[in-house]
Amino acid sequence: MARRGYHHGNLREALVQAALDLIASKGPGGFTFAEAARSAGVSPAAPYRHFRDRDALLADVARQGFERFEAFLSTAWNDGRPNVDTAFSNLGKAYLAFARTEPAYYSAMFEAGVQVADHPELRQAADRAFAIVRTASEALCASLPRESRPPALMMALHIWAMSHGIASLFARGDASRRTLPMSPEDLLEAAMLIYRQGLGLDGGLR
């Protein structure tokens, strides 16, 4: 790739794309800041115009990933339409779909070891994505008798953990994916059915 140095037309996005390509081929810990610069076709010093170090670059990749993730989840939830059960099921499917179609972003978001507290914009993007799961959990809790409702935050964390575990193990779009004698979507639906029955919600997701 031809070196473009400091006059790169869109250096920041070029570095993000280079990082995504390197994550896809080597994992989030498998490359240096200089390699990202080389992959983007710029000098080793050029990335410092936008990022103080490799962690800052990974944090920006993760931020963009969470923004995409939020869009996936928001579209799936669709403000609880056409009904809470269907929307909740769509939310889980969207989680798995994101892990399958955006494995490099997914890896940057959850496996790069970036200290979220050190990057406010990343923290805000992650919080917005989780807020959709929490909103959905609040809607599901509202269908239970008031005296037997679990804390919505606890439910949201349970759902997040369940979806994330299945996505990470079985729905990845990269070499980390493990084989499964059923689809990840079927596995998540079965897990949600058991979870809902444990809460006293009749039936499964429709």
What is the torsional sign of CA 76, 80, 85, 86? Answer: negative
Length of the chain: 206
Closest CA to 18 of 33, 5, 4, 6: 33
Placement of tokens 């809607």 in the chain:
139
> Which DSSP letter does residue 178 get?
-
pLDDT band at 167 (very low <50, low <70, confident <90, very high): very high
User: What pLDDT digit, counting tens, does each position of 27-38 carry?
Assistant: 999 999 999 999
Q: What is the pLDDT of residues 171-195, one digit of tens each?
A: 988 877 888 889 999 999 999 999 8
Compare 205 and 143 and report the one with higher pLDDT: 143
**CB count in 10 Å sphere of residue 113:** 9
- Cα→Cα distances 183→85, 87, 106, 190, 200, Å: 20, 19, 19, 11, 26
pLDDT over threshold 90, residue 78: yes
Confidence label for 3 from pLDDT (cuts 50, 70 and 90)? very low
**What tokens appear for 155 in the block?**
């439910």
For residue 15, CA distances in Å to 10, 38, 44, 57 come to: 9, 9, 11, 8
CB atoms within 10 A of CB 117: 8
> Are the CB atoms for 51 and 57 separated by under 8 Å?
yes
